[in-house]
Amino acid sequence: MTGGPKDRFARWIYRGGHPNVVGRILNRGWAWVHAMGIWPSRLATLEVVGRTSGRAISFPVVIAEVEERRYLVAMLGAETNWVKNVEAADGRAVLRHGRREEVTLEAVPVALRAPVVLRYIDVAPGGRPHLALPADATAQDLERLCARVPVFQVAARRERGG
């Protein structure tokens, strides 16, 4: 995996699939900026209850829109904290971009992920170094990537029970 200094820096701050100290500081800053709604609507902050702490934890995310539906892509894979927290919270989360929106994140089946992952690569240049999909990627390359990168559709919050 090659790339320029910016790509190498991005991979360095997330070495091992989790942010190092520099990455955590940058994530806190970007989460605050995204939550304020200052930049495009595709930049947001995901808030989810921590599976061990029970506290709300914030993560900066990029929303990929495909056919008027919104999606989140876990560029670092299934072992990232926000993915594990979303799964433990049964998909319940909050998106912030100038306002607070209670949502449910629904896992997208592997066979349906390709258009979302490709759109994510277009709108999230910071995610590209982590996904490592070359410009000349084959359909098999994309299929392998989609199998290891969780994708969630953003849906309106549904309340359970009765």
**Tokens standing for residue 85:** 């927290």
The residue with tokens 């309106």 is 156
What residues make up the domain containing 27? 5-156
Residue 64 placed within a domain: yes
Residue 147 placed within a domain: yes
The residue with tokens 């949502």 is 103
Distance CA 105, CA 152 (A): 5
Helix (H, G, I), strand (E, B) or coil at 48: strand
Residue 15 placed within a domain: yes
Phi and psi for 41 in degrees, rounded to 5?
Answer: -65, -15
pLDDT at 91: 97
Total domain count for the chain? 1
pLDDT at 34: 58
pLDDT at 54: 94
pLDDT at 162: 42
Contacts of 72 (CB under 8 A, 6+ apart): 46, 61, 62, 63, 64, 105, 151, 152, 154
pLDDT per residue, tens digit, the chain (162 aa), is 456 776 677 667 677 666 778 777 776 666 666 566 666 668 889 999 999 999 999 888 999 999 999 999 999 899 989 999 999 999 999 999 888 999 999 999 999 999 999 999 989 877 877 887 887 888 999 999 999 999 999 999 866 554
The residue with tokens 């190092």 is 20
Residue 161 placed within a domain: no
**Which CATH number belongs to the domain containing residue 126 in this structure?**
2.30.110.10
pLDDT at 90: 96
